[in-house]
Amino acid sequence: MADEPVSMLDVSVRAGVLNLLQKLSDELNLTTLYISHDLSLIRYMCDTTAVMYLGQICEIGPTDRVITRPRHPYTKALISSVPVPDPDVRTKALEISRTVPTPINLPPGCRFRGRCPFVMKRCRQEVPPEYDFGGGHRARCYLHEDGEIEIPMC
């Protein structure tokens, strides 16, 4: 388990540590669980990605699919907030409320409901089930109740 393994390292040292971790994983046939807010690290190091919100997995699947086709509004917001290092590319982050609920004594329903721009009445009452998008990609969001949809940008 590697919890933010390179978060405080210089860029040159960071690359060496990540390459060493990857080499050890490959040579020793190890599985490593990376815990990180750094999506570039996750994309580089992980085959499978789980996105958690307030202690519950809201989306899980192959890393490339989760990053390129997010199915939960929180995942979409995280990915859309990553700056693109090209001044000619204009992106707009998915707007979510800044108010984060306390993880103690959570209200009923979806844990992301208080911040979600697509919240529905049902989200406030019931925890969404996992919806399966194939290939091991699953997400908990009522937006997909009637089938797979693209989550629009705001």
pLDDT at 154: 46
Beta bridge partners of 60: 50, 138
Beta strands in 56-112 (DSSP E): 56-62
Sequence spans of domains, the chain: 1-46, 53-154
pLDDT tens-digit series, residues 91-114: 777 888 777 888 888 889 999 999
- 39-83: pLDDT as tens digits: 888 998 999 999 999 999 999 999 999 999 999 999 999 998 887
Mean pLDDT value of segment 26-38: 92
State yes or no: pLDDT of 151 exceeds 60: yes
Q: What's the pTM?
A: 0.86
pLDDT of residue 65: 95
Distances in Å between the Cα of 67 and the Cα atoms of 11, 35, 64, 100, 142 are 23, 16, 5, 23, 20
- Can you tell me whether residue 78 is helix, strand or coil? helix
- Please tell me the distance from the alpha carbon of residue 95 to that of residue 116, in angstroms, as a whole number: 8
Mean pLDDT of the residues in the chain = 88
CA dist 94 and 117 (Å) reads 8
